[in-house]
């Protein structure tokens, strides 16, 4: 099997590499989250041994697209609290750091038996359930396609790489995508970094521009990206319908969302895709609860801002909004904080 050793601990890297090589497996090492993402993309490992239960290490082996990787957490001590964190993080197995070669051999053999059992059940069983559109080649390869598309828009050369998280963005836009076959809804977002937004304005218009013009430009980038997905979808047997691009006030894709950094010519863009469940929702004021995040500012009838976009609601704020707006007023929120 191809096994990725994802840990910053150099001595553990060397020890595990020797043990796995002696067992006849191909082992590669990632000393940083960025290296882990690159290894997942280029080598498609079967198993990842992850030695740090902190972000961005948790994201590195899940936010890179492609098929599921059997993830084994390596922890310092295995107790109830640690086990709970491991399972909640989406790991498939857990072991302790410094596990003896016999234990490592046993766990790897168990993984091979699981893979053989699934293979014996047939392709329909292994591929059962709804297809994960975010893991499809269309989405996995989207960053590279968009770097060419956006490069043509600015008249320059851009490159794409996977990113574990979004940076500090100045302008953000999004466009809804609907997979016609099963009505699965996606949202594609795009933002320009705060540090390079003036450079982007200069590339597009010859000089830095005001907020309204830049926001409109980002909506056009989102529209272009959506059109690219729709065109390329036919190559993968996927038909998409598009909605209209709009501003996105509070981008917060989940940790397993595909995220790309598209950069070059002095600019840096972020692109991500999420499912409809991760998109902002409208709820009545009576359904608001502590911890929800507002994606649009709330104004009173006179146009005075009551709560700004991006605010995390408290119990006191919820009660005040219900009182001022009325229980049936619609409010747009993201996932709970």
- With 60 as the cut, is the pLDDT of residue 67 above it? no
Are 261 and 163 contacting, i.e. CB atoms less than 8 angstroms apart? yes
Q: Does residue 284 or residue 265 have the better pLDDT?
A: 265
Closest CA to 106 of 93, 120, 118: 93
Helical segments of the chain, H only: 10-22, 33-43, 57-60, 80-88, 101-120, 123-126, 137-140, 142-154, 197-205, 211-233, 315-325
Q: What is the mean pLDDT of residues 272-288?
A: 73
pLDDT in tens, 117-131: 755 555 444 443 345
- pLDDT score, position 125: 41
Closest CA to 249 of 192, 174, 143, 138: 174
- Split at pLDDT 50, 70, 90, the class of 65 is very low
- With 70 as the cut, is the pLDDT of residue 55 above it? no
- Split at pLDDT 50, 70, 90, the class of 54 is low
CATH superfamily, domain at 2-126: Response regulator (3.40.50.2300)
- Alpha-carbon distance of 55 to 253, in angstroms, equals 14
Q: Does residue 304 or residue 207 have the better pLDDT?
A: 207
* Triad 196, 202, 205: Cα angle to 5°: 135
- pLDDT score, position 124: 45
- Alpha-carbon distance of 182 to 29, in angstroms, equals 39
Residue 183's CB is within 10 A of a number of other CB atoms, namely 9
Q: What is the mean pLDDT of residues 293-304?
A: 79
- With 70 as the cut, is the pLDDT of residue 32 above it? yes
- Alpha-carbon distance of 6 to 248, in angstroms, equals 34
Right CATH number for 281-336 from 3.30.420, 1.20.120, 2.60.120, 3.90.105?
3.90.105
- Alpha-carbon distance of 158 to 263, in angstroms, equals 5
| pTM of the complete model beyond 0.85 | no
> What φ, ψ does residue 176 adopt, rounded to 5°?
-80, 140
CA neighbours within 13 Å on the CB side: how many for 101?
A: 9
- Alpha-carbon distance of 221 to 229, in angstroms, equals 13
Q: Does residue 56 or residue 289 have the better pLDDT?
A: 289
Fill in the DSSP letter of residue 135: G
- With 90 as the cut, is the pLDDT of residue 39 above it? no
- With 90 as the cut, is the pLDDT of residue 88 above it? no
- With 90 as the cut, is the pLDDT of residue 134 above it? no
- With 70 as the cut, is the pLDDT of residue 14 above it? yes
Are 48 and 6 contacting, i.e. CB atoms less than 8 angstroms apart? yes
- Split at pLDDT 50, 70, 90, the class of 280 is low
- pLDDT score, position 40: 76
Name the residue ranges covered by the structural domains of the chain. 2-126, 133-277, 281-336
- With 80 as the cut, is the pLDDT of residue 203 above it? yes
Q: Does residue 160 or residue 332 have the better pLDDT?
A: 160
- Split at pLDDT 50, 70, 90, the class of 64 is very low
Exposed/middle/buried for residue 295 (C-beta within 10 Å: 0-12, 13-18, 19+): buried
Strands 292-294 and 281-284 turn out to be: unpaired
- Split at pLDDT 50, 70, 90, the class of 190 is very high
- Residue the block writes with tokens 């309204």: 212
- The architecture (CATH level 2) of 133-277 comes to 3-Layer(aba) Sandwich (3.40)
């Amino acid at each position: 099997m191809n096994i990725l050793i994802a840990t910053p601990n150099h001595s553990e890297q060397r020890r595990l590499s020797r043990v796995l090589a002696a067992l006849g497996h191909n082992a590669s090492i990632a000393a940083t989250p960025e290296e882990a993402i690159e290894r997942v993309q280029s080598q498609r490992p079967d198993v990842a041994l992850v030695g740090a239960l902190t972000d961005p290490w948790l994201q590195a082996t899940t936010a890179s697209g492609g098929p599921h990787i059997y993830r084994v957490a390596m922890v310092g001590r295995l107790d109830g609290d640690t086990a709970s964190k491991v399972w909640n993080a989406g790991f498939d197995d857990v072991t302790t750091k410094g596990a003896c070669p016999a234990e490592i051999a046993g766990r790897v053999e168990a993984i091979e038996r699981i893979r053989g059992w699934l293979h014996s059940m047939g392709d329909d069983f292994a591929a059962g359930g709804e297809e994960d559109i975010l893991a499809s080649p269309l989405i996995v390869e989207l960053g590279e396609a968009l770097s060419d598309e956006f490069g043509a828009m600015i008249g320059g050369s851009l490159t794409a790489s996977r990113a574990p998280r979004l940076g500090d963005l100045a302008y953000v836009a999004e466009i809804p995508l609907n997979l016609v076959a099963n009505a699965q809804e996606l949202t594609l977002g795009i933002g320009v970094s705060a540090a390079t937004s003036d450079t982007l304005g200069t590339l597009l218009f010859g000089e830095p521009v005001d907020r309204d013009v830049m926001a409109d430009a980002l909506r056009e980038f989102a529209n272009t990206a959506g059109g690219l997905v729709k065109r390329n979808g036919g190559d993968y047997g996927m038909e998409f319908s598009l909605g209209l691009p709009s501003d996105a006030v509070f981008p917060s894709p989940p940790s397993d969302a595909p995220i790309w950094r598209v950069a070059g010519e002095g600019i840096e863009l972020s692109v991500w895709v999420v499912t409809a469940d991760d998109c902002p929702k409208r709820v009545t004021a009576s359904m608001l609860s502590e911890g929800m995040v507002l994606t649009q500012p709330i104004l009173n009838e006179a146009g005075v801002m009551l709560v700004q976009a991006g605010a995390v609601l408290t119990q006191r704020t919820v009660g005040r909004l219900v009182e001022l707006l009325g229980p049936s007023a619609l409010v747009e929120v993201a996932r709970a904080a």
